[in-house]
Amino acid sequence: MNYRQFVVLFFLLTSAWAYAAKPADPARFEKDILAFAAADAAQAPPKDAVVFVGASNIRRWQSLPERFKNLPVLNRGFGGSQLSDVVHYAERCVIKYQPKQIYLNAGGNDLHAGRTPEEVLASFEAFVTKVKTALPKTAIAFISIPPSVSRWSEVEQVKQANALIAASCAKQRLDFIEVFSLLLGADGTPRPELYVEDKLHFSEAGYDVVTSAIRWQKEMLAFGKQDAQKAPPERPIVFTGSSSIRMWKTLATDFPDLPVMNRGFGGSEVFDSFNYAHLLVIKYQPRQVVMYAGGNDINAGKTPQRVFADFKAFVAKVHAALPECRISYISSAPNPKRWSQTEKVTETNRLVEEFTKTDPRLQFINVHPHMLGADGKPKPDIFLADQLHMNAKGYAIWKEVVGSCLK
């Protein structure tokens, strides 16, 4: 290589580095930010908002309000943005709302544009500094940069950026919502059904995964801490599902001769048990799994068919890892508060029961008729004051019915 060639090569390399390291001009999103201001003028944003901000997977999240009905959510995503853009516009699309909680998802576009994981980390920390300076009490959570089919060649940079940001969150006591691994299939590549046709952005199935992670990651981490403090029994019987499992405080004493474990998490749906089956069930190598879930699904507006589909997915995921594991499903139970939903509950139970008859490893535990009085309605004396959860009399019924199905 002669001197002239060396100078040309040096110029090209340094120019490429300078271009990659320099953030894109944030002015390209001025129209989007003005549109947010116009929306605020047309309808006042909620107080103490939960602001979701970031790139296109946030902007395209049309079902966000429906998924978090009990929260004053505000979507301030602007598609194609980089973390540096979110930093630049933080005052106008985040801080002005004085939110109690911020969920941030960005960084993938930065990496795609040639920025390094270290530069992405620097932008994230700049955002945190900017927000905390103005709003020291506001909680910040970073939703990990997801994998995608269309950008799979960039996966190592994504992993590195996520690791750097996760470490920064731990140091600053911020939440890092890990969705990367949840979006991968058994082969270690992105599950195609979780993305739309462009193979980059989430489908509603992808948003199911992210929603579940936002809601339940803390509970999964808490279970991990419990395991660290007290070793789980070998080949246990794992009870998992929603609040009627979580609130079964006498589970261990009801079955003293059996290695039962309680991994219920209140408010959860069948999909959540599927999404976290590797942490709730598979890691313990159980001899049997007992699930109670589905009522919250119906109450949230899901159809019996959707609940059934999620249960089948749960079974498939567990049996793929533990082919000999027995899975028992406790029927959705009647209760006074949700008695108007009884037809959908009955249909859900019917679908699941028919399915369990197709595989000797599956079992349907029907508690429904045992919880009804002579008038065909829920026994009034087996529920707490909320008319939803059971009292000791209710769990005494479950002890007898469920106990006969445990091996």
Confidence of residue 210 (pLDDT cuts 50, 70, 90): very high
Whether the CB-CB separation of 141 and 177 falls below 8 Å is answered with yes
Q: Which residues of 314-347 are buried (b: 16+ CB within 10 A; e: fewer)?
A: bbebbeeebeebbbbbbbbbbbeebeebbebbeb
Tokens 């059934």, residue located: 308
Q: How many helices (H) and strands (E) does the chain have?
A: 18, 10
Q: What is the mean pLDDT of the chain?
A: 94
pLDDT tops 90 at residue 4: no
Q: What is the pLDDT of residues 64-76, one digit of tens each?
A: 999 999 999 999 9
pLDDT value of residue 172: 96
Q: What is the pLDDT of residues 297-323, one digit of tens each?
A: 999 999 999 999 999 999 999 999 999
Residue 59 has, within 13 A of its CA and on its CB side, a CA count of 18
Question: 318: Cβ–Cβ under 8 A, 6 or more apart, which residues?
Answer: 277, 281, 282, 289, 325, 327
Confidence of residue 8 (pLDDT cuts 50, 70, 90): very low
Domains of the chain in start order, with CATH, are 3-216 (3.40.50.1110), 232-403 (3.40.50.1110)
pTM, full prediction = 0.91
